[in-house]
Amino acid sequence: MDKYRIRSASGWTMFVVGVLAFRLGLLGLLRPEAVLSLLGFTVLDRASRVTGDYTLVFVIAASMASFNIGVYYVLAAVNDMKQFFVWTVPFRVVTFVVFTITVLTHLDPTRFIFVGAWEGLGASATNLALYFDRLQSSSVASSKAVTSKASRRKK
């Protein structure tokens, strides 16, 4: 089981975001109205929805995406797939930019700024953790080189 453990700061950022995305996705699949309520929208009874109202379909589709992304992030974290972590950062920044722009242009409600902020903060945390992971690995590599050089001199 030691094979499947989180080995880095960047892995922890991915794991935490993955668990949260998975849980939010699962909630939306089981109770899409709960996600609407969590986002601050007025929740209508299913019976009172008019023909052509696809709000719940959209919430369920977005929840399925969140569920899957959560699983991908957790699997990547426990397998220490740093290249995957790196790939997520720019796309999470794009999500931040898109949601921020849609809020500023009044296409999305103001509270959606938190969706953008969540992605921006998550991308920043992962990027910073990747930076520290690189520093730590280069420091470990240089200390191994010094130790190896010292042990050769003793011989």
Query: How many Å apart are CA 5 and CA 84, to the nearest integer?
Result: 16
Q: How many residues does the chain have?
A: 155
The pLDDT score that the predictor gives to residue 2 is 67
**pTM (2 decimals)?**
0.82
Q: Which residue has the higher pLDDT, 144 or 58?
A: 58
* Three-class SS state of 37: helix
Query: How many Å apart are CA 13 and CA 110, to the nearest integer?
Result: 26
Q: Which residue has the higher pLDDT, 136 or 127?
A: 127
Amino acid identity of 154? Answer: K
Q: What mean pLDDT do residues 16-45 have? A: 94
Amino acid identity of 78? Answer: V
Query: How many Å apart are CA 116 and CA 97, to the nearest integer?
Result: 7
- Summarised one tens digit per residue, pLDDT across range 53-105 is 999 999 999 999 999 999 999 999 999 999 999 999 999 999 999 999 999 99
Mean pLDDT across the chain, nearest whole number? 90
The pLDDT score that the predictor gives to residue 138 is 80
**Residue 46: enclosing H or E segment and its boundaries?**
none
The pLDDT score that the predictor gives to residue 153 is 62
